[in-house]
Amino acid sequence: MIRNMNGEDIDALTAIEKACFEAGYADKMMSREDFAGVLQDDQMTVFCCVEDGAVVGYASLFSEADGKLNFDSLAVSPDHQGKGLGEQLFRHVERYCEETGVPQLNLEIKETNYTLLKRYHRYGYKCFHIEQDFYADGWGAIRMLKRFAV
């Protein structure tokens, strides 16, 4: 099941974030305070994937002034990876864009993440910018977008 985040999810989300991103993406990780702040921020949305009553994954988005959304992050607990939950979360984000009239979804990936680059191309995303030195290890970010009919 995928649902909107609530206050009871903060500890689980923080643990998933640490398990998935501490090695290699620590400079981009969301903290416990960041997740708590989502509940007061109209520009942020976090969807939680729940199995057997426990949060096992999430996808986060933030809105831009022009109505576009930025797909910020997606993570699935290592114990639950390989079950297609990440794809379910991502497809949920795309349905959310279509259902709420979002004209464009932007995202970025590490320029060395060829697996995601191929996947997003299959999903219809186009590269529009490379931001050099985006990550702490010096690698750049490939920025991609997909437009939705509004």
- pLDDT tens column, 46-89: 999 999 999 999 999 999 888 899 999 999 999 999 999 999 99
Q: What percent of the chain has pLDDT over 90?
A: 75
Q: Which domain holds residue 42?
A: 2-147
Distances (CA, A) of 118 to 26, 123, 125, 135: 24, 9, 10, 20
CATH number of the domain bearing residue 20? 3.40.630.30
User: What is the number of domains present in the chain?
Assistant: 1
pLDDT (0 to 100) of residue 21: 84
pTM, whole model, 2 decimals?
A: 0.89
> Does residue 119 surpass a pLDDT of 80?
yes
- Bridge partners, residue 142, by sequence: 109, 130
Q: How many residues does the chain have?
A: 150
Instruction: Give the phi and the psi of residue 32 in degrees, each rounded to 5.
Output: -60, -40
